[in-house]
Amino acid sequence: MFDLDAEVRRWRRRQERRSSLSPRELDELEDHLRARVDLEMEINRVLAPERAFAIARRELGKPAALEKEFAKAGKPRWRRWLVAGWAMFAVSFVLPVVPDWSAAGWVPGWGAATATLGFLILEPREAFVGAPLHAVSGLTNFLMLATLLELRAARPRRTRWLAGLVGCAAVLNLQWLMGWAEPVALPPLGMGLGYWMWVASFFSVAAALWMRSREWAPATPKRVSA
């Protein structure tokens, strides 16, 4: 005897294996599939359920075609936040971050980053013991790079905790504003534009990852009629 619910579950498992569609997208497709089966059987009342399912499945399309259709619908909101965050992160490295105490002018983002990295490599003990917040703040730049590796995965599994880490890094990097880090302790208006953009980039990327994790959250099980 034909079991529509069982066939739909098998169809969904095949889509999960053969495509990178998210659970929420698959929910939408499943609703379309079931609605099309009902429509076919309503139009032709002598049509067998298995035949109606076959027609609906064929009309819905193959996994690759379905992915293209969802891509045409536009990029998810999280992608816009991610692009904005990475744009700010990249630009912050060429903008002024902190005043240059040894000369008249400002230290750009890349200069501050390389100075911190050199400090960590040459004096690791002094860096992590004498100025731990300063050291960890410098390492958060590598955490941003890790977000790109995660986004290459077709089916993310670590996005939620990565979003939490990037969010914590954003708060940690406010140490320069709050005066927690030594030897630099400047009032808010004493920080350069590159600093503000750098910190904002972490918040933006964290928001993007959080939205993406919600997109890939397990779908609510559908109630199967008795």
Return d(Cα 62, Cα 210) in angstroms, integer. 30
Q: How confident is the model at residue 183 (pLDDT cuts 50, 70, 90)?
A: very low
Q: For the whole model, what pTM was predicted?
A: 0.60
The reported pLDDT for the residue numbered 43 is 84
pLDDT above 90 coverage of the chain, percent: 9
Structure tokens at 176: 């320069």
Q: Give the residue-averaged pLDDT of 106-123.
A: 83
Q: Are the CB atoms for 19 and 68 separated by under 8 Å?
A: no
Task: Determine contact, residues 37/56, Cβ cutoff 8 Å.
Answer: yes
At 185, the pLDDT band (50, 70, 90 cuts) reads very low
Write down the pLDDT at residue 69.
Answer: 58
Percent with pLDDT over 70 in the chain: 72
Report, as an integer, the average pLDDT of 197-204: 92
Mean of the per-residue pLDDT values of the chain: 76
Give me the pLDDT at residue 158, please.
67
| Confidence bin at 4 (pLDDT 50/70/90) | confident
- Is 80 exceeded by the pLDDT of residue 39? yes
More confident residue, 108 or 187: 108
Distance CA 60, CA 146 (A): 36
Q: Cα(211)–Cα(168) distance, rounded to whole angstroms? A: 16
Alpha carbon distance 4, 198 (integer Å): 53
Reported for 144-150, long-range contacts at CB under 8 A and 24+ positions apart, including other chains, are 144/86, 144/89, 144/169, 144/201, 144/202, 144/205, 147/82, 147/205, 147/209, 150/209
CA proximity to 32, closest of 68, 72, 69, 60: 60
What mean pLDDT is predicted for residues 142-150?
Answer: 81
Confidence of residue 75 (pLDDT cuts 50, 70, 90): low
Structure tokens at 93: 């490295």
What is the rounded distance in angstroms from the CA atom of residue 178 to the CA atom of residue 197? 16
